[in-house]
Structures are given as C-alpha cells and as structure tokens.
Structure 1
Amino acid sequence: MSAVPLKVLVCGSTFGQFWLAALQRYPQRFQVVGLLASGGARSRDCAQRYHLPLYTDVASLPENIDLACVVLRATVMGGAGSDLAQQLMAKGIHVIQEQPVHHDEVVANLRCAREHAVQYRVGNLYPHLPAVQQFIQSAHRLLRRQKPQFIDAACASQVAFPLITLLAEALGAPRPWQFQTQAPLSEAPFQQVQGLMGGIPLTLNIHNEVDPQDPDNHFQLLQQITLGFPAGRLSLIDTHGPVMWFPRLHIPEAVKRDRDFSSPQSAHLMEETSAIIGEVTQASWRTTLAEQWPEAISQDLLALAESIQSADAPRWSPQSLLTQCQMWQALTKALGYPRLNPDQQFQPLARTLLPATVGLDRTITQQWDFTQRAERLVSDITAHQVTDFVSRMDEACLNAMLFSLQQGGVLCHPEQGHDLPQILQQLQVAEAHHTLIGRWLLLLADAGLVIQRGAHYFSRRTIRYDELHHSWQAVHAVWDNRLGSATFIDYLWHNAEKLGELMRGEQQAALLLFPEGRNDVADAVYRHTITARYLNTLIADWLLQRLSQHTAPLNVLEIGAGTGATTERVRELLQEKYGETPPIHWLFSDVSRFFLVNAQQRYGYLGWLSTALIDIDRPLTEQGVAAASQDLLVMAGVLNNAHNSEQTIRWLAEVLQPGGVMLITEPTREHLEILTSQAFMMPPPQDDRQRSEQRFLSPEQWQDLLQRAGLICEACLPDAGHVLAPLGQRLFIARRPDHA
C-alpha cells in the first residue's frame, strides 16, 4: 500500500466538521487540503479553525485532490450533494457521500464513477459504533441457533436510513421486506409501521416530526432495536448502548407444582433476569460526539482508502447498499411527510436528579485488597445513619441559604419576585461570588423553598432563626462524633451564621477555616471526618501495595497537599512498615507558602519528603517538574479548585511516566455544606461545571473527564452501594496508558 497520504477535500461545514475530526485521527493516511462550502460565516470560521483553504466552487479547486467527502444533503433531502459528487468524480476525484441517498441517485453516481474510473461510496457512521457492533455480533451468534420471532424497533425519521442498515446487517438477509403504516393518532409524535424484514414480523415506531428551524435537533431518540427469540430478547437499548439480553421467563412444571428449583428442568432459572452484553461504557455526549463519532466515520474512510491504494483490497459490492436505499425509500413513502413542530426549546435535566445507580460497581472493592483496612473504619456505621445525616445537613444548609437571603431583604414576601441581578445588587454580593449565589437560587428552587417563574424567584416561606438553629442542632445529633469531630459541624454552623458577610466579601472564608492561624478546624474538616479517614487510608494502603510490587523507589508528587491530612496518613502507615527510610521520594506541593512552611516544620526531619510551590492552573513542566518524571500523583480534593479541571489533568498527565497513576479524591455530589463554606474560597470554574451550573461533578462525569484527558480510570471507590456512598466523596484511580 502507498505510504503517501491521500489528499482529501471536505465538502460542507456543518456535519463536515465531524468528517474533518475523523480525517485528523489518521494523518498518515489522509491529508486534508481544503474545505468546499458556501463561503458563509460558519464555513469561513471552520476553514480558519482547521487552517484550510476555503473554496466556494468546483472550478476553483486545485488539481491534486484524491478524495472528496461530500457531507451535504442529497437531492432527495433537498440538497445538492449528488450533483456535487458527480462534478467531483468528473474531475477524477474519488467520492464518499454522507447518507441518506436515494436509490436512483446512488445508481447515477455509481455510473458516473465507472465512467471516470473513480470509486464512489456512501458513508454511514452508525454501524461502526461500539455498541452497534456488539449488537450485530450478538445477533449473528443467536441467529446460528434460533430464528427470530419478531423485531421491535424505534428511531427518529431523520435517522431511519441507518436503522435500516443496522437491521439489515444484524439479520444478514433483509429480504423479503414490506412496510405498512398504521393510522397515526392526532398530534402523536410517533407513527407506527408494521411489516416484515427478512420474513420476520416487524413493528417500527418512528418519531416523525421535525422543527423546520432546527431539523438536526429535537430527536426523541436515535435508534432502538429488539430481536425476539424463543429463548429471550436481544436489545440495543440505544445507539450507544448498552446491549442487553433478557432471557424469556419459563416456569417449569417442577416449580409450578412442587417449587422444586433443583430439578434439571429448572437449571435455566439460574440465569439473571437481564444481562449487559460486552463491555459497558458510559461516555458523555461530549465524548461520544468528539471521539466515538469521528472514529466511526473514519472506518468508512479507511476502507475506501485501502480500496483506492491497494489492488489486494477486498472488492466492494453496492448491491446491499442499493437494497437498503430501496427499503428506506419504501419506509419514508409509507410514513409520508413529518409533522412540523416549530420553535422547540431544549431543556436539559441533570443526571443527579435521578437516584444513584446501585450495584453496577458493587464488586470493585473486592478486586482490590488494599481496601481492607479502610473498610474496618466503617464497620460500625449504618446506612441509615449516613443517609439521615445527609438529609439533615442538606436541610440545614438550604435553610441557611434562604435565611441569609431574607436577612438581606430579598425573597421575603411570596408576591414579590426578584431576578438574579436584583438579588445580587440588593445583597451587595461581591463579584467573585455571583456564580455561587446563582447556584444557591437554583438549589432552593429544586428543593421547593422558592419558586422560579421565568427569570424571577419568589419565596414560598420565611425561615425563622429558631428554626434555623433547630435544624443545625439536628445535624449535630446525627453526626454524634462517629462520623467525625463535632468541631466540623460547629465550623459549618459558624459559616452559616456568617453567610451575609461572606457574600459581601466582608468576612474571609479562610479565617473561619484557620482561625488565628490554627489548624484544628481544618484538621476536623480534612482529616477527622469518616470520609477523609476512609479515603486517606485507601490512598496510603494503595501506595503500600504498589511499593511491595516494585524494587526501585517511587517518585510521588502530592498536589495541593494543604494541611497534610493525606500526607500524615501515608507517613503513619509507611513508618509502620518501613520505619524512617521508606523506598519513596515524596514531593509535598501547594500553591500557598503558608502550607509549605507548616509542612517544613512538621516533616523537616523526614529525608524522603521535600516541598515545592506548585500552581495547578499552570503547566507543571514550567514549574520545575520534568515531563514523565513521576510514578504517582496524589490529589485530595484539589481538582475542584482548578479553573479548568480537564486542562489541569492534562498538565498533570504530562509529568506522569507512561503507566504512572493518579490517585484523586473529589466530592461527587452537590455538597451544600461546601457551597455555604469553602466555596467562598474556591475560584469560579471555567470548564464543564460552568456550563452545567454544577459546582461538583458526578462519578460518571469525573470518569468521562479522565477519559477525555487520555487516562484510564481503573477504579472509583467507594462503589455506589457502599455505606459511605451517600456522603458523595470518591477516590479515582487513573492510569496513564503504557504507550503514552
């Protein structure tokens, strides 16, 4: 195969940007040499962003283009994609065109390709997505054993062509097929189609409506497919997974008659009522669009490149594509035109509104023997005690928020509303805290303490001081010194009493955490709570396990070491096993010289520990830390203080050796007690948290962020079913890939 990359032209700057991202993934195979588009602002911006020349007509194109990606609507969809494809092929350029394309257009394009001795393909990313591949492979395995009894599927009409493709590939042979629509209910967004595919009874539910101002959005779903077999159902729950198997319930006679579950006829009852097939991935939409879709697009590009450059490439037959085009046309004809639903508005809801998933990762702590000592710390703590504390703490913090607002003269009367700017002005909120107070209002609205009507907020009740005081007494009673020191609750209550001054910037939050420069309050917050003791013990024991597996000393960098809560627990357990000379080089770092001076005074006698001033909002390689120099990075509650957590993680990853590990502890729920205390010291985020209006990311969001930064998240502890899980603190163990 030729080592020279194909010179590629991308036509279209809307979905064409996904194709540009796909081509960039394989620079050894493709060199993008231009963008052909209308010349509007969007295409100019796109060309500038990708550093490409922008062409507005075929006549102006250079002569050295090998391949064109036509990412414009085909004629059947009201565009000029097929006309452009034929013009490009007439210039001797191979073409791949984005689906869907009418059968007659495909025939004409294939004829044009033969006439000009070039190749023509239709691109379709959906069959190459990981979950779809898993579904197709699973369907093939089942089809070798049983014939499907029914097909139940659903999609949006805009992605009906890919659904036809997925079904055709899963079944292998789509003929005979037919479609017949049922009379739609008035104003119903879904339209039902009955028919056959591969001779199997088929029911399709099609979301057949479109917003004419925004036709590429407002889908109710992409694709869902269920194949029903005599033994059960195989389901692609969504285009991006998961794939699940649901064994069919069959109660044998021995169970119906005698409740005999031990008979040979009852063996199938041992199978789970449902099972996820293959690897479970829970990527965000951001990762899906930025990573999975371009990679899926690239598979068609790579196949075409191989066909262009190698005489030994497998021959491609268009017959299957032509059949799918005919099926899609028959389906769209049966459906008719979509119902127009203009001026739709997108209103996202946070995943955190739903109950936490229990059980998916319940076994992870059993896979890591370093958790045993930490688990003993929680052996006498009950789930009820933890959930009761969280409930009472949230209630006390919400009361404190509303009380402080009402003390400032806003939200005092149910009939008098205020918008955020009015509230900020009335309360004289310092500019640094505007975002925080906006978050308070949303939380109060979610809790039902205030009502939001448009941009204005109205109070539903008045919080009295005695009621506020009583709610904090209830928190003290539940805390009961078993979950931590009473000093921790006193600190939070003291902050709650000072919220007005904190909002105005008249009270420094740091002076409440370090009164008169003392560390006793900070130690109660960062060292003595049950979550701090549990997570710091996990970190220390993980490190001991790692040391036992290596002969050379480990280089460890602790970022944002602060009061030394994590350092102290590590020191205790290292001294237990190694005495004063453990095989480790530990760099204690922070952005504050105050903490470094304290660490030097406390740990100056330790030959294996040194200190450094490091700012997480700057590249570490510019602060004296060499690239790929560290075996381990330790960060306890640090990354939420970064302006941009993802960028910071990328900078941190640069100083990790390939195969090196980050141990990260972070809050993973909306901690109201932090939003009424330490949040006044935290800079406003400039990353996903700003856009989502969340102050803290969920475990799934943290894992996705780590993945985006190029790391492999190997564990998230404690798991969702753990007694401490409601407290919302997690340890993430993330590894830099060996090949990085």
Structure 2
Amino acid sequence: MSGRRLRAVVCGTTFGQFYLAALAGLGDEFELAGVLAKGSARSVECARRFGVPLFTDPDQLPDDIDVACVVVRSGVMGGTGTELALRLLRRGIHVVQEQPVHHEDLVVCLREARRHGVRYRLGDLYVRLPAVRRFVAAARTLLAKQSAVYVDAVCSMQVAFPLVHLLGDALAGTVRPWRITAASGAADAPFALLNGVIGGVPLTVRVQNQVDPADPDNHIHLLHRVTIGTDSGSLTLSDTHGPVLWSPRLHIPDAVKNRFDFAAVESAHLGEPSTVLLGPAQPPSYRHILGELWPQAIGRDLVALRAGILGEPGAERPDQYHLTLCRMWQDVTSELGYPALRQGEEHQVFPVTELMAAVTGIEDEPAVQRPATSSEVSDGVVACAAAAAESHGAAVTARHSRTFVARLDEAVLSSMLLTLQRHGLLDDPGRGHTAEEILTTAGVAPQHHRLIARWLDVLVERRLISQEGCLFRGTQPVRTAAVERSWDLAAEAWTGRLGSAEFIDYLRLNAERLPELMRGEQQAALLLFPEGRTATADAVYRDTVTARYLNAAVGAAVRRLTPGASEGRTLRVLEVGAGTGATTEAVVRALGDQPCGQAPGIDYLFTDVSNFFVVPARERFAEYPWMRFGVLDIDRDLAKQGFRPGSLDVVIAAGVLNAARDTDATVCRLVDLLAPGGRLLITEPTREHLEITASQAFMMTPPEDARQQSGTTFLNQDQWLGVLSKAGLEDVRILPGEDHPLAPLGQRLFVARGPVC
C-alpha cells in the first residue's frame, strides 16, 4: 500500500450498504469513519453493524473526513444527492456520487470540485464487474482488428446509464456520433424499442420501461444483455454477471456445399465450437453477486478515486467521458418517456431442478456413436468439475488469497513463538537452547515432540529465530498485543470474503490454547467438536471458499461419471474419511437430490474410521436409498475389512489422506479397489498450512512416508503427483490451476484414472 488510509463516510443506507461493505473490505486503503443518513431504524442499524457513528447532518461530520460516498438519489431522479455532494465538495471533501446524474449537475459538481481542489467522480459498479470487464476486454481486442456491424442491447430502465457506460467502454470510448430514436410498438409490451447509432455503428436497444412504484428496485426481467456483431461473429454478454460468449459466424464453404467434404482445408473452421465461453461457464449466485461482487466492484471505483486523490501514476480522470455518457443517457431516457406503472408485482420462484430434469438426457446424447476415449472422459469430467466449482471462487481475487495467507501465517508464527517464550525460551538472542531443552522446559508431551520440532524448523525458516549448530536462539520478545493485532488482520482478510468468522475464531482459540495442546492437557478434537457438536467442523470443512470450491468440483465429477438410466449399469462409489459429510452433501446436490427410491444410477458407500460420523450420517442421508454406510480404516488392510479388489468405479478421499500413516501405501490400497479405468478423486492441502500445525496437527497420526524425512505436515503438489504415479494412476488432472485466484490458498483436487487393464 502506498500513501495513507483515507477516512471515508457513506451517505445513504439503502444502496449505501454496498458501499459500506466495500469500504469494510478495503482496510488497507480506507478507514470507515461514519454514516450520514436521516436517522431511520435502518441507518441506526447500519452504523451499529459497522461500528461507526451515525451523523444526521453534514455539519456534524468531523474535519478530518477525506472522502464521502454520496449514495442518495441525484436531482434528476428526484432526490437530494447532488445538493449533498455540492455541500461536501465545498467543505473540501472528495466525493464519489452514485450514478445517474444529470449532465448539467455533473458540470456544476466538477466545477465546484476544481474550485476547492478536490476530486469528484461518478460511481458505477457495473462496469467494474468481472463479466463486464471480460466482455469489454474481448470487445476491444475484437474491434481493434475489425469493425462492428451492429450493436444489440437489452436492459431495464433502472440500469440504463450503466448500459451506456458499458457500451462506451466496450467501444473504447468511441460513442460519437450517436443518435437515439424511439420506435413504435405495442403500448403494453414489457420492452420499449429504440433504434439509432453509437460510434457510427447501427444500434438497437430494448428497455423494460416498467416500474412498480411500491418496489422500484425489483421485478426487472434482466439487468443487461449486449451483443456486438462483426463479420467474423458475435460477442455476447449474456447477463451483467456472465457468461461471455463468442459465436463465430456460420460460413459453409464450397467443399461442404458441393462435396460434403468436411476434411478439406477450407472446412477447417467448421471444427470450432459454434459458441465458446470466454471465462467461467457457471455464473455466480445472487448471494455472491450482492454480498461479494458488488462491494468488490464498488471497491475498485473507490481505489481508483484514491489513486487520483494521492496523485498516483496513471490515475483515472474520466470527467469529459462521463459528461458524454450523461448526455447519451439523457437522450435514451428522453426517448423512452415515463415508465409504465405496474402495481402489485409479486416475486415468484421456479425451481431450476425442474428445468434440469427436463433436459436431462438431451444434453448428454452423443453426437457420434462411438465410445469416448479415456482422455476424452477425463476432459469432460474435469471440465464439468471446473464449471461447477467456479462460482464458489468467483468473488475472490488472487490478491485476497495471498493477503490472507500472509496475514494468517504471521498470526500463527507469532502465536507459536509467544507460546514458547512464555516458558522463558527464545526471548534472548544471547542465550541458546537445544531442541531437547525446549521440549523439556515447555513440558511438551512425548506424542507432540515431532510437531514442536517442526515449529522450530519453521520459525528458523521464517527468520523469527536463528539456529547455530544444535542451538536455537530467539531474536526479540513477542508482545501479546502484537499477536492479537495479527489475528485481527487475518480475520479482516478472511471474514465475509473467504469464509465465515467461525473458522478464524476456531484457529484463534487453538492459538490461545497452544500451551495446553502441546502439553497434552487439551484435546484438539474437543476444540474442533466442542461438546460433540459439528458447527465448528462445518466452518472448517464445509463453509470455507476452498471447501465449497473443491466439494462442488467433486460432486460435479461424480455426476458426470454417473451413467444415465438407459445405460443399465451402476456407478460404484466409495467415500473414505467422509467425516461431517461436507463432500457427500455436494455429491447429493450434484445428483439432483433424488430421494425416495429414485436411484440415480449410483451405489454410494459412506465410510469413516469410527461410528462417530457414520451414525449421524445414516440418519442425515436416510432418504437416499442408493447410499450405504460403514466403518473403514485407511491405515489397515482393506481386504480384511471386506473390500474386494477391482470392485469400485470411483473412490473419493476428501481431505483424509494427510491423516494416513503412510500415504503411498494407503493410495496403493485404494487403487487396488478400482475397476479398470476407475477414478480416484482426492482433495488435499498442497503446501505447509501453518495454521494446521497449530491446531489439527495435534490429533493427526505421525507419518511414516516422505513427510517423515522432510519434517513437513503435508505433501506438496509434486510429491502428490509422485505418489499417484507410483500407485499406477494415470491421466492426473488438477483443480484449481496455478493461475487461479484460489491457488495461493494451497488446496487442490486431483482427478486420477486407474490403469485401464
């Protein structure tokens, strides 16, 4: 971070709540200093929830406010937002005002901002959304090489300004000349039709010009849908939140028309898909959109404003461009006229499962009647898994992941060192201690000697302590307040973005109990399952962004491998170490929640090392007759536990193999259970998770594999590939990829195929 944190207030608490959420996620750049509103129950609750004061008059604002987010309807929309923005600008406060704003009001605000030496800009989250940014990037690349021949767009009247902004960005700001004219149509039709030109390109716009006056923010048919056509094909933003599609223009060459020759050189382009997804196939849920993507998009606007305020290189100055967009938006709304009033609109939900059931069997019907190769099957399985999982990570950037990992590592390492220093160890650079002395003085239980020795290695690696021969030396005392602050920062980077607060609370509690854990006075299992309850474990294994991503991927992979009803066979699946059933749940969801005898072509065996998890799972999944339950110990001979070699099509091991005594031997045993070409689905950490070495590692079995020699807790990705190869597995695929935003979090799904014969 360069420059200081800017103190910001949010004016308005309806849409303003999204700005509050955005600022809460920008703790390195901004400090939320208050809420300015009329004092309604909602605004009081907003201020309480974010822990900031509520102001009811701009004159009450402190003198050190840097930025105001004016999220109140502007004058052109019948509100007081523009008047408020001007008052704040005159106080020397930088302002971002939510669109739309009348062109003349924008001119006045820009003039006032210059007069008082501050920044003013329009806020528009829509053009900052990931799918819109992908569409704009693709459009600019396309239009740099060929001209657009048409633009076709659809929106609701509430988001007409963002549509104009979106089109302007896609056309690289080339909106002149434009012309907008209303076309005649049925008076009661949901969409009004406009024709015209934008940047010299023919333009058609359809706008849902209807509103329920009692609920004006709801009951819209869609936000935005835009297609830019060229001689090569069409680029489509199918919805504001994706997906983005490229559809090559159909051209049937003479070789096909005259000789039905698809192998000719001139027919090569026909081998391309008729539509290609540019980016994730699965758009995010509305929960993710409203809770994560919108605040993040607003955050990008705020960061851009901050860059301008601090004079950073390349800071945006979109004044003239926004003036042009405001003029064009006013032309659109002028041609539309007043919206038709639709009283008493009701929200209705249609279950998507019914639509999915209606198309089942159609989408999977093979185009060519030949068996798919093993590689093609793997391609399909991994593609489905990736598509299903993508929405669960759509709200996360690589920056979020890296920031959290760095902050969590700092919190864990400082907690480890503080724990040892409380025993008079490693707090004096002039005094060295042997490992044996450290273990004895700290009273470490014998079963935890290897783990605490690993702590020492990590502390040396991270240069928090030093090692000279067999002596370990500290650097300086760790302050309790500094440790607490490091946990606060880790929680700030995690909560709401990567998972629930319960996950960090669990890790923090373990850190506080480290003295008791390492002495064997506290059972780690009781912290994970307090009083036998699973809520904490759910936060660890079910609710984190990586858990959601990986579990959804496993569920989609199993669904892809499950045969259709007409195939007359059953997919035999074993899940080992199923635990709380987080992965099992994802499989059930992927199969369409088919209970009560509606077998989906699968025989699923849920197992764990004891009845602690098996008994509640039997009750929880009782309505699924295709699911069976049993006890299985992965460290013991599987044949002696009643499992036959070659009897399974899929084995799932979600986050359990790191607890195996000998990973190589366990994987080999599981591979022996696979029928020819069967699949092994493994989810595992692939980096050293320091937080686990300070929590769950206290209840893990001491390893007897490569981890014993390296002293590590987990195998890395290359080591896993070696384990899988040694076991005879082939065609290994890995999700998420190294360039994925979730990759820094260090969790992977391995999809591996057993020998075909």
TM-score range, shorter chain: 0.5 to 0.7
Distance 1:227 1:35, change over 3 A: same
Q: Secondary structure at the match of 1:68?
A: strand
Residues 20-64 of structure 1, C-alpha deviation per residue, up to 9 Å, x if partnerless?
111111211100101001100110111111111001111111111
Distance 1:103 1:381, change over 3 A: closer
Paired position in structure 2 for 1:97: 97
1:8 partner letter: A
Distance 1:107 1:272, change over 3 A: same
Distance 1:521 1:202, change over 3 A: closer
Does structure 1 conserve the Cα–Cα contact (< 8 Å) formed by 2:562 and 2:570? no
Does structure 1 conserve the Cα–Cα contact (< 8 Å) formed by 2:150 and 2:228? yes
Does structure 2 conserve the Cα–Cα contact (< 8 Å) formed by 1:536 and 1:569? no
Shift of 1:152: 0.7
Does structure 2 conserve the Cα–Cα contact (< 8 Å) formed by 1:224 and 1:235? yes
Residues 564-588 of structure 1, C-alpha deviation per residue, up to 9 Å, x if partnerless?
xxxx9979449999xxxxxxxxxxx
Does structure 2 conserve the Cα–Cα contact (< 8 Å) formed by 1:631 and 1:660? no
Q: Distance in 1 between matches of 2:219 and 2:61?
A: 36
Paired position in structure 2 for 1:326: 327
5+ residue gaps in structure 1? Answer: 369-376, 391-442, 448-470, 486-507, 514-519, 545-553, 558-567, 578-620, 634-655, 664-706, 720-740
Does structure 2 conserve the Cα–Cα contact (< 8 Å) formed by 1:536 and 1:570? no
Distance 1:75 1:21, change over 3 A: same
Paired position in structure 2 for 1:23: 23
Paired position in structure 2 for 1:642: none
Q: Secondary structure at the match of 1:537?
A: strand
- 1:66-215 → structure 2 map (5 Å cutoff): 66-172=66-172, 173-215=174-216
Q: Distance in 2 between matches of 1:512 and 1:631?
A: 28
Paired position in structure 1 for 2:58: 58
Distance 1:148 1:354, change over 3 A: same
Q: Secondary structure at the match of 2:305?
A: helix
Q: Distance in 2 between matches of 1:82 and 1:380?
A: 58
1:53 partner letter: P
Q: Secondary structure at the match of 2:348?
A: coil
Q: Distance in 2 between matches of 1:630 and 1:198?
A: 65
Distance 1:631 1:115, change over 3 A: farther
Does structure 2 conserve the Cα–Cα contact (< 8 Å) formed by 1:484 and 1:529? no
Q: Distance in 2 between matches of 1:248 and 1:4?
A: 51
The share of aligned pairs that are identical, in percent, is 39
Shift of 1:265: 2.3
Distance 1:659 1:179, change over 3 A: farther
Q: Secondary structure at the match of 1:355?
A: helix
Q: Distance in 2 between matches of 1:118 and 1:179?
A: 35
Paired position in structure 2 for 1:49: 49
Q: Secondary structure at the match of 1:322?
A: helix
Does structure 1 conserve the Cα–Cα contact (< 8 Å) formed by 2:89 and 2:118? yes
Distance 1:521 1:48, change over 3 A: closer
Does structure 1 conserve the Cα–Cα contact (< 8 Å) formed by 2:304 and 2:315? no
Shift of 1:709: 14
Shift of 1:247: 0.8
Q: Secondary structure at the match of 2:8?
A: strand
1:131 partner letter: A
Paired position in structure 1 for 2:695: 627
Distance 1:116 1:512, change over 3 A: closer
Q: Distance in 2 between matches of 1:714 and 1:10?
A: 40
Shift of 1:270: 1.7
Distance 1:40 1:510, change over 3 A: closer
Shift of 1:628: 6.4
1:129 partner letter: L
Query: Is residue 653 of structure 2 the alignment partner of residue 539 of structure 1?
Result: yes
- 1:466-615 → structure 2 map (5 Å cutoff): 522-523=629-630, 534=648, 537-539=651-653, 554-555=658-659, 572-573=669-670
- 1:194-593 → structure 2 map (5 Å cutoff): 194-310=195-311, 312-314=313-315, 316-355=317-356, 363=379, 365=381, 383-384=564-565, 522-523=629-630, 534=648, 537-539=651-653, 554-555=658-659, 572-573=669-670
Residues 583-628 of structure 1, C-alpha deviation per residue, up to 9 Å, x if partnerless?
xxxxxxxxxxxxxxxxxxxxxxxxxxxxxxxxxxxxxx9xx99436
Residues 705-732 of structure 1, C-alpha deviation per residue, up to 9 Å, x if partnerless?
xx9999788559899xxxxxxxxxxxxx
Shift of 1:137: 1.0
Q: Secondary structure at the match of 2:651?
A: helix
Distance 1:522 1:309, change over 3 A: closer
Q: Secondary structure at the match of 2:226?
A: strand
Distance 1:10 1:718, change over 3 A: farther
Q: Secondary structure at the match of 1:260?
A: coil
2:565 partner letter: H
Distance 1:313 1:272, change over 3 A: closer
> Paired residues, what number?
478
Shift of 1:282: 3.0
Q: Distance in 1 between matches of 2:250 and 2:233?
A: 8
Q: Distance in 2 between matches of 1:38 and 1:136?
A: 38
Residues 331-388 of structure 1, C-alpha deviation per residue, up to 9 Å, x if partnerless?
00000011111221111223222227857996254799xxxxxxxx999996335789
Distance 1:555 1:316, change over 3 A: same
Q: Distance in 1 between matches of 2:232 and 2:380?
A: 31
Does structure 2 conserve the Cα–Cα contact (< 8 Å) formed by 1:8 and 1:68? yes
Q: Distance in 1 between matches of 2:183 and 2:295?
A: 37
Shift of 1:280: 3.6
Residues 658-700 of structure 1, C-alpha deviation per residue, up to 9 Å, x if partnerless?
9899x9xxxxxxxxxxxxxxxxxxxxxxxxxxxxxxxxxxxxx
Distance 1:313 1:271, change over 3 A: closer
Q: Distance in 1 between matches of 2:642 and 2:603?
A: 8
Shift of 1:543: 7.6
TM-score (normalizing by structure 1): 0.56
Shift of 1:536: 6.4
CA RMSD in angstroms, aligned pairs only: 5.0
1:539 partner letter: A
2:564 partner letter: A
Q: Distance in 2 between matches of 1:256 and 1:164?
A: 42
1:221 partner letter: L
1:325 partner letter: C
Q: Distance in 2 between matches of 1:59 and 1:379?
A: 62
Paired position in structure 1 for 2:457: none
Shift of 1:264: 2.8
- 1:1-40 → structure 2 map (5 Å cutoff): 3-40=3-40
Shift of 1:539: 2.4
Q: Secondary structure at the match of 1:10?
A: strand
Paired position in structure 1 for 2:685: none
2:194 partner letter: V
Residues 99-136 of structure 1, C-alpha deviation per residue, up to 9 Å, x if partnerless?
11110110011111112111100011111111111111
Does structure 2 conserve the Cα–Cα contact (< 8 Å) formed by 1:128 and 1:299? yes
Distance 1:71 1:265, change over 3 A: same
Does structure 2 conserve the Cα–Cα contact (< 8 Å) formed by 1:632 and 1:660? no
Q: Distance in 1 between matches of 2:620 and 2:28?
A: 57
Does structure 1 conserve the Cα–Cα contact (< 8 Å) formed by 2:149 and 2:201? yes
